[in-house]
């Protein structure tokens, strides 16, 4: 089933007005304004719902420190992708084949064929 969004501007029509939903609080309830201390800094940012990193990323980071190799060079030599490590740091979940190639490369000591 396809769902199409209506593009009122493209058709030259005005968008229908939808009234905002009013709060369920009674009109007699007092509304208090919370004062923030201007020296306190910005409000804290909420934590992410999940913080996942691929298990192989920890092994790669440790290996990079031990062998003094750049992340781009490691990714290019291990799997042919210079963005591999930065993508892993950003949350990429590698396939089992890619993980096997990474671990095989590290097991050889970084010798590229």
| Tens of pLDDT, residues 69-83 | 999 999 999 999 999
Residue 90: pLDDT over 80: yes
Burial 56-79 (b: 16+ CB within 10 A, else e): bbeebeebbeeeeeebeebbeebb
| Tens of pLDDT, residues 4-51 | 555 655 666 666 666 666 655 555 555 666 565 556 666 666 655 555
Contact between residue 54 and residue 93 where contact means Cβ atoms under 8 Å apart: yes
With cut-offs at 50, 70 and 90, classify the pLDDT of residue 110.
Answer: confident
Query: Would you say how long the chain is, in residues?
Result: 113
């Amino acid at each position: 089933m396809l769902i199409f969004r209506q593009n009122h501007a493209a058709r030259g029509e005005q968008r229908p007005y939808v009234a905002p939903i009013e709060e369920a609080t009674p009109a007699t309830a007092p509304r208090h304004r919370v004062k923030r201390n201007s020296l306190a800094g910005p409000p804290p940012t909420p934590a992410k719902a999940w913080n996942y990193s691929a298990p192989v990323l920890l092994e790669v980071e440790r290996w990079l420190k031990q062998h003094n190799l750049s992340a781009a060079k490691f990714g290019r030599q291990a799997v042919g992708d210079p963005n591999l490590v930065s993508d892993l740091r950003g949350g990429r979940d590698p396939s089992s084949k890619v993980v096997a190639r990474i671990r095989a490369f590290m097991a050889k000591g970084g010798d590229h064929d």
